[in-house]
Chains A and B, each alone.
Chain A
Amino acid sequence: AQTVTQSQPEMSVQEAETVTLSCTYDTSESDYYLFWYKQPPSRQMILVIRQEAYKQQNATENRFSVNFQKAAKSFSLKISDSQLGDAAMYFCAYISSNTGKLIFGQGTTLQVKP
């Protein structure tokens, strides 16, 4: 079975600085997709960025980028120029092409200090 692990329960960053959230996963599949979701205090899940496993190029969405290391099964999220609105719980997630199920990591709570 696939698993997703986020080893950092909490992280903090100074406003305008850069922070990296870690995520590792375990799978025997070769075809899958990886995501980072943001859950602010409203608890609405918001897609931040996605990565197809077959693509070597790291995905980027404005201030958000990932470091995808397929061999190491690592998928970290880098947030540049952190803003107060980035404060939220961040979840790393995996979709199996076989089952279609979205599997979440434990989450990392990000605090942004002014």
Chain B
Amino acid sequence: DTGVSQDPRHKITKRGQNVTFRCDPISEHNRLYWYRQTLGQGPEFLTYFQNEAQLEKSRLLSDRFSAERPKGSFSTLEIQRTEQGDSAMYLCASSLVNAETNYGYTFGSGTRLTVV
């Protein structure tokens, strides 16, 4: 297992277009998290799943954002009608609940979105 994979690494889109990002977590991890990070700031929590259930969504996650984890494995994050303010790095992370969790999460390398 090579860790958490995110695709694509970079995405440039025109304002108003829809975009979808994919995250493949570490295979045995049952929790998956999405964060958004703007330049010079810390990651902001967006949402997380335990298996296929979406357990929490941040108020930051407007109705233009939707996330799924249909089979409890990979996850997708879709942004509809993108705005320039959506430009950010979108980070995915995974972890194993009910196990030793001293290591926090394993993060992917992120998807950098630029809305022009």
A, B from the same assembly: no
Binding site for B on A (CB under 8 A): none
Q: Which residues of B contact A (CB under 8 A)?
A: none
